[in-house]
Structure 1
């Protein structure tokens, strides 16, 4: 997957550990829905998740970060536990110079921020 683009979905959880059981279950359920959406769209795949330090992250990979995000954005906006942000990487995860954009959730405009 090193030459694929990526979208990292970040979630704030309760406390400073692995969050509440209901939050973890919401992330697991969202991950299952994301897999179905990406498979139907043919825009990428889910490559797992991680929990810790009061946060969770779901990893998505595909040939185009914009297409990945467009495929899942409607689902993310109506999720019971929406992400705090989505990090779009336009290049290999090994490429430190690739373009990166952050889409913030919970803001009225769904603002994008380039890094």
Structure 2
């Protein structure tokens, strides 16, 4: 992942979202150790304090837990927390924007569903 420094989304949130995706796709398992703030800083060429802010955000949400002297690890509830949050926040916002744009373009509900189904088929074809 390459962070988007031109995005309106703060870097620490981009870091947190990247880690969430790593958890959701199974790259980092329950009770698996997460990268340290210094590892993340090196990986993305950012300030360690920015990386720490992303890690702390996930810890505050219950996605990560700290083991003193050992680092941060993924909670058993992490996947469910991430899925619930993304559905209620991210996905709802995207769907609202999609529906608004469809209305502006006079796209029917049927056409919109067809577009969504085509996109899903395309993802399946890509193995995602």
Q: Same fold (TM over 0.5)?
A: no
**Bigger fraction of residues in strand:** 1
Higher Cα Rg, which structure: 2
What TM-score does the superposition give when structure 1 sets the normalisation length? 0.30
Higher RCO (C-alpha 8 Å, min separation 6): 1
